[in-house]
Amino acid sequence: MRLVVRFWLWFCFKPVDVRHPERVPADGPVLLCINHPNNLIDSLVVATALRRKVHFLAASAMFRNPLVARFLRACGAIPVCRKEDDPDKMDPNAKAFAACFQALGRGRLIAIYPEGTTHAEARVQRIKSGAARIALGHEAARPDELSLVPVGLTFEARKSFLGRVLVSFGEPIPVAPYLEAHRQNPSKAIDALTRAIQRAMEAEIVHVERIEATELVGAVEELHRGALISELSVTRGLDAWQIDPIRLSRLIVDAVTYFKARDPERIERLWQRIRGYRALLAEYRVKDEAVQARLRLPRRRERGRRAWEAIVGFPFFVYGAVVNGLPYLIPRWLARRLARKETDYATVRFLASVVAFPLFWTLETWVVGRLTGVAGTAVFALSLPLTGLVAYRYLVGAGRLRSRLRFGVLAFTRKQAARCLVAEREAIVAELERAQADYLAPKQSLSIRYTSADARRAMRSSRLTTSFSISSLASDVRTSRFAVRVLRTRSWAASKSFRISSSMRRAVSSLYSR
C-alpha cells in the first residue's frame, strides 16, 4: 500500500521534500502535531514520508460509510467527534483518548491535526487542546517516554498538477516541564503546552499572522521572487531548482510583517499600486509572467534551445496527450464539480486520478496487446506514465508561450498600453527593491541607497561600485522605445548617483541561509 501511494504522489506532485525525518524516533511512543492545509492529501504525504506506521486521528464523520470506516480502521485511524459534526455526541471522545493512550502505551506513532479542520489559509489556525491533553496524560502515566513532534506541511500550488510539497519535522517539544504544573493546575498546564505546540507548528511553515496580509505576500512573491532567485544564484552559485522557494517565502513574510509594524502607510501604498497593476493585467487579458518575459528577453542561444525542445518534444506531446488526455481531464472535471471548498479539490482530483489512470491505461494496454506482441505491449505500458508527464510539462510551456504571444500582439496593436504595463511593473519592482534595502540595512549595518532595477543589473555584472548618470540612461532611450516610459517613471534615479556594496548580496544570502 505504501509503495502504491508513493507512486501516485510522485505522479501527481513533484518529489516530496522531506526535512529532518530523523527527529521522529524509530521506535517508542510519538505524537505528531500537523497543520491541515489539504484534506486527505496531508495524511498520505506524512504517512509516506516516514517508515513507521502512522495512526491518524480522523473526524468521526468519515466513519459513517461502512466501507470507508473499514478501510480507515484497517489503516489504524482513530475516530474523533468534533463539535461541528455532532454537538450532542462529544462523550465518545473519551473512547478516542483511551484509544490514543493505549496506542502510545504500545509504543506506536499517532498523528493529530490540532487545528481541528482543514483550511486554505497560509497560517496555523488557533489549535485545540486535544494534543496537549493527550501528551500530558501519557506523560503523567509514563514519564520521559513520549516524543511530541511538530510537523509543517506546505503546498506551493495546492490545486495544480505537479506542485511542490514540503514536509518539515520540527524539534521535539519537551513535555516533562509542564508535568508538575499539570498536577497542580491541569487547565493552566494544558493551555501553556497548547501555546508551545502552536508556536512550534508555526515555525515549520510559511506562517502569515494576519489573513489580510496573505494576498499581499502572494503578490510580492509573484513580482519579486525571480529577482531574489537571481541574486541567490549569483551570490551562492546555485541553480534555480536548488533554491528553496519556501525559505524565500518566509523571508518575504518577515519583510512584510516588519514594514506593517513600522511603516504601514508604505505597505498600503505598495498594495494599492500592485492592485492597480493587476487591474491593468485583467483589463488587457495578459499575465505578469508575459510582461516580465518582455523585460528579460532570452539570449539567442536560449531561444534556440527552446525552439529545438519545442520541435523535438512535439511528437511526444501529441502521443502523451492522446493516451493520457481523458484520464487527466476527467478527474479535473470531477474535482471542479464535487469539491465544496478549496481544500477538497486536490483530494477529489487525486482519488479520481488513482481510479481513472489505471482504468484507461489497462484498457489501452489491452487494445495494444490485441494488435501487437508482448514486447510492444510492455513498451507501450511503460511509456504511459512517462509520456503523460512529458505532455503535461509541454502543455505548461505552451501556455507560457501563448501568454507571451498575446502580450506581443498587445505591444503591436496598442503600444501605449503595453508600455504602461511595462513601466508600472518596473516602478513596483523598484519600490520592492528599495524596501528590500531598507529591510536588510539594519540587519547588516549597511548604509545604502538602493534604487531602481539598474542597481540589480549592476550587481549581476559584478560592477558593484558603479555610478549611473543621466547620459547612461539616455543611451538606453536611444536603443529601446520601451525604455522611454520606464525612464519617466524612474526619473528620480537619473538625478542622483548611487553606489552598491557587495554587502547587499551577502545580506540576502545570509538571511536565506537561516
- Which phi and psi (to 5°) does residue 101 adopt? -60, -40
Class of residue 54 by CB neighbours under 10 A (exposed 0-12, middle 13-18, buried 19+):
buried
Give the three-class secondary structure for 55. strand
Residue 345: half-sphere exposure toward Cβ, Cα within 13 Å: 14
User: Is the pTM for the entire model greater than 0.85?
Assistant: no
The model's confidence at residue 471, banded by pLDDT at 50, 70 and 90, is very low
* DSSP result, 39-66: THHHHHHHHHHSSS-EEEEEEGGGGSSH
CB-CB contact of 39 with 341 (8 Å): no
457 grid coordinates: 543589473
19 grid coordinates: 526535512
What's the chain's length in residues?
514
pLDDT at 173: 95
Kindly give, in sequence order, each residue whose CB lies less than 8 Å from that of residue 149, ignoring residues fewer than 6 positions away: 23, 24, 30, 31, 32, 33, 169, 170, 172, 173
Kindly give, in sequence order, each residue whose CB lies less than 8 Å from that of residue 395, ignoring residues fewer than 6 positions away: 317, 321
CA distances from 471 to 18, 459, 468 (A): 52, 20, 8
Measured over the CA atoms of residue 329, residue 45, residue 351 and residue 116, the dihedral's sign is negative
451 grid coordinates: 534604487
The model's confidence at residue 4, banded by pLDDT at 50, 70 and 90, is confident
Give the three-class secondary structure for 153. strand
Calpha distance 430→218 (Å, rounded):
18
Q: Which one-letter DSSP state was computed for residue 119?
A: -
pLDDT at 322: 94
What is the average per-residue pLDDT within 415-431? 90
171-210, pLDDT tens digit by residue? 999 999 999 899 899 999 999 999 999 999 998 887 776 6
366-375, pLDDT tens digit by residue? 999 988 888 8
Query: Domains plus CATH for the chain?
Result: 2-202 (3.40.1130.10), 212-296+416-513 (no CATH), 300-413 (no CATH)
Which position has the grid cell 463539535?
83
Question: 3-class secondary structure for 477-502?
Answer: HHHCCHHHHHHHHCHHHHCCCCCCCC
β-strands 147-155, 165-169: how paired? Answer: antiparallel
pLDDT at 329: 93
